[in-house]
Amino acid sequence: MADTPYQVTGRQVRTEEPPSVSRVLGDGLKRSIAHVQDYSLLCLESVTNILTGPRYLQDLLAQMDAIGVGSLSIVLLAGFFIGAVMVMHTGSQFSRFGQTALTGDIVAVALVRELGPTISGLLVAGRCASGIASELGSMLVTEQVDAMRAMGTDPSRKLVTPRVVATLLMLPLLTAMADFIGLVGGSVVSVFTLRLDAYQFWSRAIAALDFADIMQGMSKAVFFGFILSTVGCYQGLNVRGGTQGVGRATTQAVVVSSVLILASDVFLTRLALYLSGKFF
């Protein structure tokens, strides 16, 4: 036999066809549907875990401290300056018509209904949703989550539920404090720039608020807290690619939760305006 290797003739080389636009769009749609399905299951588990034991009270208190107390300073600062800026803008317009006394009414309604819960939700999303995603992502990369499963601990009950419940409890309180501090900032600016009496500002601000306004703001805070906490947990528990994946999950948690908060705000406002004249 010849020493030369066998030569196979007539072999047809296959060339990969470039993916079509419809295939790329179809794959992207399938991945999006899978993400929505997994996120919905995580939200359902986080709620159902509240109704059954075991409950990790120590983890809940630690998350309430990290989310509530840790976010207090930035929420109060933002609320003060937002109230001050609102008085500057609205007061300059009302002064043209000699109705600067209405400044307290507008600032109170805008803060309690819209700006208070929205700004608080976005600030807490930037601070806590990213922190939740990075913390859970690091635990997943270092195989701590797998160790929990090996010891018989449910990661959803141990890691997700305390963070969701803590955010649901603390964000309405942060929103209420942001509303109050925003009115304080507005009253300070109105006294020094518009020459309004502080008593007049506060009396008109309190008189302008109804129970429906307070309910609308607090209900938004609850929904926003649920969104940012579940999105942060979902991104953290679905990290892929090691430490680089943790960074991507942190960024995606902030972006996705902020967009969902702004998008849901439209539907919640429309629903609240519809229900305000019927139930409260």
Per-residue confidence of the chain (280 residues) as pLDDT tens digits?
Answer: 445 554 555 555 555 667 677 777 777 787 888 888 888 888 898 888 888 878 888 989 999 999 988 899 999 999 999 998 988 888 777 777 767 777 888 888 889 988 999 999 999 998 888 889 888 888 888 888 888 888 888 888 888 899 999 999 999 999 999 999 999 998 898 888 877 788 888 888 888 888 888 888 899 999 999 999 999 999 988 888 777 888 888 898 999 999 999 999 999 988 888 877 666 5
Helix (H, G, I), strand (E, B) or coil at 107: helix
User: Could you give the CA distance from residue 128 to residue 163 in angstroms, rounded to a whole number?
Assistant: 10
pLDDT confidence of residue 123: 93
Sign of the Cα torsion 206, 211, 213, 217 reads positive
pLDDT confidence of residue 117: 93
User: Could you give the CA distance from residue 108 to residue 128 in angstroms, rounded to a whole number?
Assistant: 27
pLDDT confidence of residue 12: 56
Is 109:217 a contact under the CB 8 Å cutoff? no
User: Could you give the CA distance from residue 223 to residue 246 in angstroms, rounded to a whole number?
Assistant: 26
Is 264:270 a contact under the CB 8 Å cutoff? no
pLDDT confidence of residue 212: 83
User: Could you give the CA distance from residue 131 to residue 125 in angstroms, rounded to a whole number?
Assistant: 9
User: Could you give the CA distance from residue 219 to residue 216 in angstroms, rounded to a whole number?
Assistant: 5
